[in-house]
Amino acid sequence: MAKQPFQAESKRLLDLMINSIYSNREIFLRELISNASDAIDKMYYKALTDESLTFNREDYYIRIEADKENRLLKVIDTGIGMTEEELKSNLGVIAKSGSLVFKTKNEMKDGHDIIGQFGVGFYSAFMVADKVTVLTKAFGSSQAYKWESSGADGFTIEPFEKETVGTEIILKIKENAEEESYDEYLEEYRLHSIIKKHSDFIRYPIKMEVTERRLKEGSDDEFEEYKEEQIINSMVPIWRKNKNELTDEDYVKFYQEKHYGFDKPLKHIHIKVDGTVRYHSILFIPENIPFDYYSKEYEKGLELYSNGVLIMEKCADLLPDYFSFVKGMVDSEDLSLNISREMLQQDRQLKFIAKNIQNKIKRELETFLKNDREKYELFYKTFGRQLKFGVYDHFGQDKEVLQDLLLFYSSKEEKLVTLDEYVSRMPEDQKYIYYATGESNDRIARMPQTELVADKGYEILYFTEDVDEFAIKMLRVYKEKEFKSVASGDLGIDEDSKKKTEEEEKENKELLSYMKETLSGKVKDVKISTRLKNYPVCLTADGEVSIEMEKILSAMPNNQEVKADKILEVNPDHEVFQSLKDAFEQDKEKAGLYTNLLYHQALLIEGLPIEDPIEFTNDICKVMV
């Protein structure tokens, strides 16, 4: 059976095209400029392959002209032009892309990659224009043509007089309707900003007459306006230049021009990848934290360009959350765009780029840490918290990526150290990586729980941020060494003193259980301490939830009443213990009073609230009288 071709209802198709594909009307200009650039690229390619031709850069440009009075907007190029046949097939058949045909026929090299591929961009002109006229003369032909259309009704083509090769697209801009204003597409400042936003990195100059102001001749306070033709676009994107052609100032200028931040970047990373997926990227680590960084309003993401044409202002998929502070852009010629160029058709390439970028940032930060410690610490003070959240997030799936970027204050070095530095200094007999949590370094240094570990000469990492212990619990081990809080039950130190403690526990069994009873509901147990030297008591925690975690969780808005299993440890070598023993033998009530006081004292040292301050102060008075 003979196959029948599908019939497309061209009028409806055009209508759909005009009204449904693009969400943003201003992109018509991007489409027309991209077509003009493609037309010049084709000339460039011809010159590359035909020795009788030379390509003089100055002769190739795109010009935008607005005529407000007559509501005309022109996009003029000196590109390859179109023959009558090409006009018919390229601008008469929807979804026919002459550019795609050209690209497939001639393998384009030298980074000159044609933008057009779907054969629909041109028709976006009808979003803002009632009538579109195309005047064009093809390279190598003597006759020029005029194509004209008012949209769905079809088009006409007739011979026309035009001296130079190239194309002139003339849009008759629509009259303003009730809620729609089209005047803006005739305004100089608006056209300027659309070109800057979408077409800044088109490789050929985009010229336009611009109004400037100057001092009137002979006057020192009177100004006059004058018109001047200017090139609006930056053309060569900085990311396509070689790193060694660029100075630090160039990168700072780019950062500021792009409004990535009001500060200066602390560091830039310039990437060029020429593999299966090709891309260029410039990334920045800001010096200051954006004011809304830790708020819901903050949007992470990088600018995404395809061949120098902006596709997305903030592509979130390019950055993992833990690097959400990174600013910058990516430009790739290998993205599969959807027809409106507003989205990607599939994200295989994007995933590849994102993975690649993540590795580059990680490696760059590692080098930064190694080569410029002082500056890295500055960075870490600002964004270290985000890295720690990264370790903790998604059940620790990225912990290995981030663990070597972490820094913690060290009791011995009295400065920030890496986990690797800590482990490489560990004495042979030290089993664990010790840490202590608290409000500030000062306060931790004076915590009774640190006494034994510090006495032993072991280094302790100080955790002062609420995320620290959560992140470390997720990390669990580093280079096969387990993390251990100085406040945890078994510190893995001193087998001898363990024996002594066991004896003391046996000897004071009754006192300890009396104390436990007195504090019932408040602590899980009362024990003889192995870790205390100078302090009489301290609180430690048994199990996964530490006292510090209890504090953080109870400060959260959705307080879930998670409590640590607290152990009151008493120091048998402290004078107070003797008084306690005496009281227990002679006056049980007094022993109860002492137990309560010691428990409250331990709470205070921990920075935990005292449940009943009145009872506590009354107890003190009782001791005094």
Ligand X SMILES: Nc1ncnc2c1ncn2[C@@H]1O[C@H](COP(=O)(O)OP(=O)(O)OP(=O)(O)O)[C@@H](O)[C@H]1O
Please state whether 317 falls in left (phi above 0), alpha (psi between -120 and 50) or beta: alpha
Binding positions for ligand X, 123-142, rule CB under 6 A: none
CB 276, min distance to ligand X, A: 23
Stretch that binds ligand X, among 112-120, 187-195, 310-318, 348-356 (CB under 6 A): 112-120
Is the CB of 132 or the CB of 547 nearer to ligand X? 132
**Cβ atoms of 260 and 286 closer than 8 Å:** yes
Q: Bridge partners of 157?
A: 147
Instruction: Report the Cα 343 to chain-centroid distance in Å.
Output: 19
Choosing from 133, 149, 167, 596, the residue that interacts with ligand X (CB under 6 A) is: 167
Q: Are 142 and 160 in contact (CB under 8 A)?
A: no
Taking the complex as a whole, how short is the minimal distance between the CB of residue 24 and ligand X, in angstroms?
15
Binding span for ligand X by CB under 6 A among 93-101, 312-320, 505-513, 515-523: 93-101
Count of chain residues binding ligand X (CB under 6 A): 23
**308 counts as binding ligand X under rule CB under 6 A:** no
Applying CB under 6 A, the span of 6-14, 113-121, 266-274, 483-491 interacting with ligand X comes to 113-121
Instruction: Name which of 104 and 181 has its Cβ closer to ligand X.
Output: 104
Q: What are the distances in angstroms from CA 436 to CA 55, 81, 190, 494? A: 70, 74, 59, 19
Euclidean distance between CA atoms 370 and 376, whole angstroms: 9
Q: Which is nearer to ligand X, 31 or 468 (CB)?
A: 31
CB of 7 to ligand X, least distance (A): 21
Order of strands across the sheet with 278-286?
A: 265-274, 278-286, 327-331, 302-306, 309-315
Orientation of helix 348-371 relative to helix 373-396, angle to 10°: 140
Sort strands 481-485 and 433-437 into parallel, antiparallel or unpaired. parallel
* Alpha-carbon separation of residue 366 from 420, 476, 523, 569 (angstroms): 12, 21, 44, 42
Residues numbered 402 to 461 that lie near ligand X (CB under 6 A) are: none
DSSP symbols for 356-424: HHHHHHHHHHHHHHHH-HHHHHHHHHHHHHHHHHHHHHHHHTTHHHHGGG--EEETTTSSEE-HHHHHH
The whole-angstrom separation of Cα 603 and Cα 467 is 22
Q: How far is the CB of 77 from ligand X (least distance, A)?
A: 5
Q: Looking at beta carbons only, is 114 or 591 nearer to ligand X? A: 114
From 1-9, 33-41, 484-492, 494-502, span contacting ligand X (CB under 6 A): 33-41
Residues in Cβ contact with 299 at an 8 Å cutoff, skipping those fewer than 6 apart: 314, 316
Structure tokens of 579? 């008084």
Nearest C-alpha neighbor of 105 from the set 180, 28, 49: 49
User: Where do the H-state alpha helices sit in 50-97?
Assistant: 84-92
Which tokens belong to 444? 């931790």
120 binds ligand X (CB under 6 A): yes
- Nearest-approach distance from CB 12 to ligand X, in angstroms: 17
Residue from the set 117, 141, 150, 382 that interacts with ligand X by CB under 6 A: 117
Decide: is 26 part of the binding site for ligand X (CB under 6 A). Answer: no
**Which member of 78, 83, 90, 133 binds ligand X (CB under 6 A)?**
90
Q: Which of 21, 27, 29, 31 binds ligand X (CB under 6 A)?
A: 31
Helix (H, G, I), strand (E, B) or coil at 532: coil
Cβ distance to ligand X smaller for residue 141 or 441: 141
Nearer to ligand X (CB atom), residue 307 or residue 571: 307
Cα R_g (the chain), whole angstroms: 37
Residue 274 Cβ, how far from ligand X at the closest point, in Å?
A: 24
Closest alpha carbon to 246 in 285, 274, 272, 278: 272
Closer CB to ligand X, residue 171 or residue 436?
171
In whole angstroms, the minimum distance from the beta carbon of 351 to ligand X comes to: 23
Coil, helix or strand for 213? strand
> HSE of 365 in the Cβ direction (CA atoms, 13 Å)?
28
Nearer to ligand X, 35 or 349 (CB): 35
Q: Is 80 helix (H, G, I), strand (E, B) or coil?
A: coil
82 or 538: whose CB is closer to ligand X?
82
Q: How far is the CB of 136 from ligand X (least distance, A)?
A: 7
- Least distance to ligand X from the beta carbon of 20, Å? 14
Q: Which of 14, 29, 39, 128 binds ligand X (CB under 6 A)?
A: 39
By CB under 6 A, tell whether 470 contacts ligand X: no
Residues in CB range of 101: below 8 A, 6 or more apart: none
- Tokens at residue 322, please? 């833990």
Q: Does 116 bind ligand X (CB under 6 A)?
A: yes
Over the window 50 to 89, marking each residue x when it contacts ligand X by CB under 6 A and - when it does not, the resulting string is ---------------------------x-xxxx-------
Other Cβ atoms less than 10 A from the Cβ of 57: the count is 11
Does position 199 bind ligand X by CB under 6 A? no
**Is residue 91 a contact residue for ligand X (CB under 6 A)?**
yes
Q: Which of 78, 83, 99, 349 binds ligand X (CB under 6 A)?
A: 99
- Of 204 and 594, nearer to ligand X (C-beta) is 204
Instruction: State yes or no: residue 168 binds ligand X (CB under 6 A).
Output: no
Stretch that binds ligand X, among 15-23, 110-118, 271-279, 378-386 (CB under 6 A): 110-118
User: How buried is 85 (Cβ within 10 angstroms: 0-12 exposed, 13-18 middle, 19+ buried)?
Assistant: exposed
Q: Does 118 bind ligand X (CB under 6 A)?
A: yes
Residue from 28, 73, 98, 550 touching ligand X (CB under 6 A): that is 98
3-class secondary-structure state, position 156: strand
Q: Shortest approach of ligand X to residue 22 CB, angstroms? A: 11
From 35, 233, 430, 518, residue interacting with ligand X (rule: CB under 6 A) = 35
Q: Which is nearer to ligand X, 100 or 235 (CB)?
A: 100
**CB of 116 or CB of 328, closer to ligand X:** 116
Q: Answer yes or no whether residue 10 interacts with ligand X by CB under 6 A.
A: no
- Give the C-alpha separation, 100 to 115, whole Å: 9
Least spacing, CB of residue 51 vs ligand X, in Å: 24
Q: Which of 44, 61, 122, 284 binds ligand X (CB under 6 A)?
A: 122
Closest contact distance (angstroms) between CB of 121 and ligand X is 3
Q: Which among 402, 561, 538 has a CA at the least distance from the CA of 467?
A: 402
By CB under 6 A, tell whether 119 contacts ligand X: yes
| 90 vs 332, beta carbon nearer ligand X | 90
Q: Which residues bind ligand X (CB under 6 A)?
A: 31, 35-36, 39, 77, 79-82, 90-91, 97-100, 116-122, 167
